[in-house]
Structures are given as C-alpha cells and as structure tokens.
Chains A and B, each alone.
Chain A
Amino acid sequence: GAGVSQTPSNKVTEKGKYVELRCDPISGHTALYWYRQSLGQGPEFLIYFQGTGAADDSGLPNDRFFAVRPEGSVSTLKIQRTERGDSAVYLCASSPHGGGNTEAFFGQGTRLTVV
C-alpha cells in the first residue's frame, strides 16, 4: 500500500479482555516499530522488528504485551488481560531498514480504550 496501515482505527474493550492490533507496513520495509502514545504525551517506544525477529523489545511494559511479525511483513501487537491504563493510541512505523538514518513512516494509529 501507499503508507503504513493500522487496523482497527478505534477499539473499545472491557477490562480483562484480550486485544490484537494490526499493522501493515510499507511494502519492502524490513524495519517495523510499535509505539504507544498516551494523552498529552509523546510516543513511547515499545518494540522493534528487523524482519521477523524482535531486535529490541525493551519498551514492552510487562508480559501482558506481546508482538509478532511471522512473515516479516504484517505485525500484530497483542495485549492480554487489558487494564484501563492500557488506554492509548498505539502507533506503528516502518522504515526501509533499521540502521543509519532512515525515515520512519508512521501509521494513523489505533486508539484503544479499555472500559
């Protein structure tokens, strides 16, 4: 596609439920990032994939959060036992590769609301 696509654009879920957020990166981009943006804050790094592998998952807040990218393209961010504090906009970005200065292109984000 022309840009990074994230689905759904909005997700409302009940506390304790499981959610999956999807990211379709720009075709051919090997690097993929997930960020979380809480209201009034800047994006906060969660995880970075180079190809299929998670090269840096130091930003995942706890073991309820997990992400996969099985074929090196689409990625899914999975959140178990959601809590109200997980409510935020989850942003995905991709870039041609992870090294050097390569521009990261961001999607529009998925707004997650946990009620």
Chain B
Amino acid sequence: GEDVEQSLFLSVREGDSSVINCTYTDSSSTYLYWYKQEPGAGLQLLTYIFSNMDMKQDQRLTVLLNKKDKHLSLRIADTQTGDSAIYFCAERGSSNTGKLIFGQGTTLQVKP
C-alpha cells in the first residue's frame, strides 16, 4: 500500500540549514511534493520533484530524491523564524486522479 513517513519534529537556530526527511513506499510515484502549513492557514505548495530527477533547487530550497531508497529530503538554507511551520511530504502515484498521499508532517521550530 501507499505510505509516507516523516520525522515529527526538528529544531534549528536561525541562519542554520534545516533538513527535513521523508520516506515513501509507492515505487510508482510520479511526483513528490513538499507543502508548508502555518497555524490557521491552508496548505501551501513549496516545491515538487518529478520522479526521474535527483535534485531540484529553488532559491533557498533544495529537494533531493533517492528513488532507489524511496527517500526524499527538503533542505532550507539560511532558515528564518518565518520558516517555522509544519512541512508535509506528499506523493502522487501513477493513477491519473491527482490524489496525494501525505506524511504526518514535520514541525520545524526556528529559534532566534
């Protein structure tokens, strides 16, 4: 079955890099996503990576994909207090429905 796992909590100092990790089980996943959720707000798409890519960089965000190990990571460079939020990893399977399977979320705490 489809399953996505994440560590629950990460604490970093402002200015440091943050690395949030995710593992998934569906080898037929076509796209993998990172969403951000701030308190009382909806889910915001941060970035995504296609399954035939190893890495994608977008400003302070770097996504690494190890398809063999089904491991995805999100690195945030120069982490700011405004980056404090819950980060969700999600996979999209091979079906054409666009249905996403989410992990349980990683709470990122950024200390000044």
Interface residues of A in 1-54 (CB under 8 A from B): 4, 31, 33, 35, 40-45, 48, 50
Please pick, from A40, A101, A103, the residue contacting B50 in the complex, using a CB distance under 8 A: A101
Can you list 6 A-B pairs with a CB-CB distance of less than 8 A? A31-B98, A33-B99, A42-B4, A42-B105, A50-B97, A109-B42
How many B residues touch the partner, as a band? 20 to 34
CA distance A9 to B40 in the complex (A): 10
Contacts of B4 in A (CB 8 A): 42
**Closest chain A residue, CB of each to CB of B98:** A98
Is B102's CB under 8 angstroms from A44's CB? yes
CA distance A44 to B90 in the complex (A): 11
Q: Does A108 contact B (CB under 8 A)?
A: yes
Is B42's CB under 8 angstroms from A106's CB? yes
Q: Does A99 contact B (CB under 8 A)?
A: yes
Q: Does B104 contact A (CB under 8 A)?
A: yes
Contacts of B99 in A (CB 8 A): 33, 45, 48, 56, 59
How many A residues touch the partner, as a band? 20 to 34
Is B101's CB under 8 angstroms from A45's CB? yes
Interface centre among B40, B42, B96, B98 (most CB of A within 10 A): B98
**Per-residue 0/1 for B2-24: is the Cβ within 8 Å of any A Cβ (1 yes, 0 no)?**
00100000000000000000000
Give chain B nearest CB distance to A108 CB in angstroms. 5
Contacts of A101 in B (CB 8 A): 30-31, 48, 50, 92
**Per-residue 0/1 for A63-81: is the Cβ within 8 Å of any B Cβ (1 yes, 0 no)?**
0000000000000000000
20 additional A-B pairs beyond A40-B105, A48-B97, beta carbons within 8 Å, are: A4-B42, A35-B100, A40-B104, A41-B105, A42-B4, A42-B102, A45-B100, A45-B101, A48-B98, A48-B99, A56-B95, A95-B98, A98-B98, A101-B30, A101-B92, A102-B98, A105-B45, A106-B43, A106-B44, A108-B40
